[in-house]
Structure 1
Amino acid sequence: MKYYKIEIKRIYPELGRIASRAEGKNVPNADEYFWAMDRGEILYDAPIFDFFTLKSFDEEKYWEWQLNDVHNFIGKGSQIQGWFISEKLKKLFEKFKISKPYCFYPSKLLFKNEKLDYFIFHFSAHNFRKPLTDYITFTKSLFYDPNHKINFLVKNEQELLIQQEKILDASGYEIINVPIKKLVLNESLDFFPMQTFLGDIICSENLKQAIEQNNITGFEFSELDYEVVVG
C-alpha cells in the first residue's frame, strides 16, 4: 500500500491568501476542555462545543474568505493536537482505518452568521504517543542520523527517544524529528499521525483518492521520502 504525507494547506499563493483557522474563544469553559485534550484525556461527557469562528494572521476582512472541510486551530484551541473538520469529512474518515486513540467532538462553527456542524478531530497528544508507537515494528524499521550521515536501527520507542535526543543535541536543535528511511507498520492503517514522535501525518492512497474524489477542501498531499511497509 502506498502512503502520502497529508497536511492542511496553509497558503494559497495564486490568490494571495492564507488559510483561516478555528478560534474557540466563544466556547464555554474552553480552557478546561482544550487543555484536557492537550493532556490526552478522552472527554466522555463533552458538550457540543458551541461555537468556533474563523480567524487568521491576515486582515480581519479575509477571515471568512474561504470555508474548508478542514481547518487548523488558532488562539483558544491551538493546543489541541488535531483538526477542525466538517461533518462531510467526519463521515468520510469513519469509513477508513484510523489509528487509535482518536475522538470526534461535535462542535459548531459560526460562519457568515450561520452556525454549521463541525467536529474537533482529536488524534494526537502526549498520552497518545505510546498507543500510536505500538503500531510501529521498530526492529524492522530504519532511521537516519543526519549529523553522522548513517542509518541506524532501534529495538523500541525508548531507544528511538535516546537517539532522538542525541541527534537534537548534536544539531544544536536544528533537526527536530528523526528522519525515517523505512517505516514498518504492524497493521494496515489509512490514517496515522506521527507528529509527536516522527513529525509526519501519513495517509493511505485509498484515503487520499477518496478525499479528492469527494471534493474535500483544505488538504494538500506530498510524496514521502521514505518507505512505508505493512507487515
Structure 2
Amino acid sequence: MSSSTPQVSTPVEDPPSVAAAIESRFSARAFLPRNVPRETLERILRIASRAPSGTNTQPWRVYVLQGKSRDELVRQVCAAHDAIYANPALAAEYREEYDYYPEKWVSPYIDRRRENGWSLYGLLGIAKGEKDKMHAQHQRNFRFFDAPVGLMFTLDRVMGRGSLVDYGMFLQNLMVAARAEGLHTCPQAAWNGYARIVLPHIGAGPDEMLVCGMSLGWADKSARVNEFTTPREPVEKFTHWLE
C-alpha cells in the first residue's frame, strides 16, 4: 500500500487470497533448511506492525535468531529439556512468567486439548505411554522444527494484561503476512518455561518478559506431520446473535 493512500480508501483487490492466507495458516512442525532473506523478514514484520494496540502502545519486541545464535539457543534449551526428563525435580527451576494455560482444566477445553495431542501423536505413530518418543517429539519445539528462523517475542513487564491481547493480533498479522510470502510458521508457548535461558541469550533487558517463540520458514510438504489439521468449532457453537 502506498503511504499516500488513505487506509480507509485502500481497496482489497483479491479478497479470496486474504481468506486463503488466513485459512491456510497452520502450525507447521517440519521445515526445509532453506534460507529466508532478511528483506522478506523485514517486510513481514513491517506489515505485522500494523496490528492494532490500545492507544497505539505497540508493545511488541521481536528478536530474530538465525545461524549461530539460533543453533546455540537450541543447544542450551535442548540440554535443559533433557536434564528435566532425566530428573523431573529440576522442572521447578524453569517457570513460566505468566499463566498461558489454566491451573485447572475443564470441558470443553480439556477435551479439545486431548483430542489435539492424541491426534498428532497418532499421526506420528506415538502410542500412549511411549515417553521417550513423546519427549523427542516435544523437543522438536526447541529445535524450531528445523526452521532456519526462530523468533522470540517479549513484553515490558510494566505493561498491563491487555497488552497480551495486542500481542495476539500482532502475531496473527505476522503469521498471515508470512503466508503471503509462501512461508509457514508455528507459534510456540513451549519456550516460555525456559525464559531464564532465552532472555539472556537474546540480550533482552531485565524488564522484559517472554511472551512466546515462533518457528518460521519453508514448510516441508513431504513431512507427514504437516498433514495434521486441527478442527474448528462451527460458527453457531461459539456465536450468540442478539437483536
Q: TM-score, normalised by structure 2?
A: 0.26
Larger strand percent:
1
Q: TM-score, normalised by structure 1?
A: 0.26
Larger helix percent:
2
